[in-house]
Amino acid sequence: MTPKRKRRLTLIVVLIVGVSSATALALYAFQKNMLYFYSPSQVYAGEAPQGHMFRVGGLVVDGSVKREADGLTVHFKLTDTAKTIPLVYTGLLPDLFREGQGIVASGTLGPNGVFHAQEVLAKHDENYMPPEVADALKEAGDKSLDAALVRKR
């Protein structure tokens, strides 16, 4: 092998090692940070993993929002009109968090069936329905709500 070829080979090997380690790193991080979405019905049926982060979305049940004395811990219920699950969140809620509003929460499911939300998202538009929530509601198959959603969108 000529010295020139040898140098070129070194360069190529370095590049391949670099790119493949970057790819491995990316895929590993990807695996670790992928959040699956479950509807309240799926969570209720026990399809969602225990102890793993995931996302859940639905409508905040009217009259279900209860605050603890510290003013920051909030208990509320989330529904896809078929099933309802309880959630708890500590912290300030987004501006558009309201009863009857579609929201998405990410967090973990506790052993008692309560979803501990670490983040609650309600988008900054009154007419906006998170697409996951809209689909989950459709899956749950409430015709009248479907119609309401169409109007909302």
Asked whether position 91 contacts other proteins by CB under 8 A, the answer is yes
- Considering only residues 1, 2, 71, 150, which one is a binding residue for other proteins as defined by CB under 8 A? 71
Residue at token pair 């225990």: 50
Please measure the distance between the N-terminal and C-terminal CA atoms of the chain and give it in whole angstroms: 67
92 binds other proteins (CB under 8 A): yes
144 part of the interface to other proteins, by CB under 8 A? no
Cα 128 → chain centroid: 17
Question: Is 116 one of the binding residues for other proteins (CB under 8 A)?
Answer: no
The distance of Cα 49 from the centroid of its chain, to the nearest Å, equals 13
- The SS3 assignment for 79 reads strand
Task: Report residue 76: phi and psi, to 5°.
Answer: -155, 170
Q: How far is the CB of 81 from other proteins (least distance, A)?
A: 18
State whether residue 89 is helix, strand or coil: strand
Residue 16 binds to other proteins (criterion: CB under 8 A): no
Contact between 24 and other proteins by CB under 8 A: the answer reads no
**17 sits near other proteins (criterion: CB under 8 A):** no
- 119 CB-side CA count, 13 A: 8
Amino acid 114 reads V
Q: Contact with other proteins (CB under 8 A): which of 125, 143, 144, 150?
A: 125
The residues that touch other proteins, with contacts defined as CB under 8 A, are: 4, 7, 10-11, 14-15, 18-19, 22-23, 25-26, 29-30, 32-37, 55, 67, 70-72, 91-93, 95-96, 106, 123-126, 128, 130-132, 135, 153
